[in-house]
Amino acid sequence: MQSVSNYQKQFDEAFFNDGYNICDTFIRVGLTAETLSLGLSEMYKSIDGFIETFLGAAEKQGAPTDCKRGCAYCCHQTVLASTYELVYLGNFLKKKYPGKALNKIVERVNDKAEKTSILKLDKLLKFKQPCPLLHSTGNFCMAYQARPMACRIYLSRNVQSCINDLDNPLNDSVFPELFDMPLRAGKMMNEGFQARLRKEVADKLQVFENTIEGGLQTVLNRFEVDNWLKGKKVFKKIET
């Protein structure tokens, strides 16, 4: 039991340090929108590489993931992401979907945010509605390349468990069967990244989790990243 505990501690520390060092590599020259974006892109690349290796090994052992393109049961639940991830996501959307296409995304963002912004955390985590970035007919993520860490590490062992979770949002005994290792790795890597960022800015910068729709409602509406980097309070915290 002790050896398992020690392994988990070493595992967590390794991925925390990876996230910390990735952030440090890019922002040590100065914290700007560009260096933060480059650092986050590198962290995503790192966790994606780990997950690819992990899933390959799981499949060889006869335990493949049930996640496939077009399967979007998980895209109906509340997703929390750090503010810097939401800035990255918003910038991606602005570049990829100019004009009317972005306006349609904003409409869906506002629609879901109107419902979730009034919920406290316990009810928010049980709320089910399609993500505003889920394509309405193609059933795929419209910002897959820029999706937050929480989406990248959410990997199901059993799709039926995801369906059951979606159909029973108020039943605490029903939950999706997920691979634990990617969840731990991504969580610790993001915590390390955030720790280095906090060291740079102390408490001046708003660095906390928000819903995708809540964060995008800010980022896609007259948002100036430099004002946020200078410490302006632009994001609304989730009520607990």
| pTM score of the predicted model | 0.95
N-to-C CA span, the chain: 35
At 138-194, the pLDDT tens digits run 899 999 999 999 999 999 999 999 999 999 999 999 999 999 999 999 999 999 999
Examine residue 121 and state whether it is found in any structural domain, yes or no. no
Examine residue 230 and state whether it is found in any structural domain, yes or no. no
Q: What angle do CA 74, 76, 80 make, to 5 degrees?
A: 80
Rounded CA separation 198/20 (Å): 10
Residue indicated by tokens 């002790």: 2
Rounded CA separation 167/111 (Å): 21
Residue among 190, 187, 155 at smallest CA distance from 56? 155
Examine residue 210 and state whether it is found in any structural domain, yes or no. no
Q: For residue 150, give its domain range.
A: 2-79+87-96+129-204
With contact defined as beta carbons under 8 Å apart, do 77 and 112 qualify?
Answer: no
Examine residue 124 and state whether it is found in any structural domain, yes or no. no
Which residues, including other chains, have CB under 8 Å from residue 231's CB and lie 6 or more apart? 201, 204, 205, 206
Examine residue 233 and state whether it is found in any structural domain, yes or no. no
Examine residue 20 and state whether it is found in any structural domain, yes or no. yes
- Give the torsion sign (CA, 81, 84, 88, 90): positive
Examine residue 107 and state whether it is found in any structural domain, yes or no. no
At 80-122, the pLDDT tens digits run 999 999 999 999 999 999 899 999 999 999 999 999 999 999 9
Residue among 164, 175, 166, 186 at smallest CA distance from 74? 166
Query: Structurally, how many domains does the chain consist of?
Result: 1
Examine residue 219 and state whether it is found in any structural domain, yes or no. no
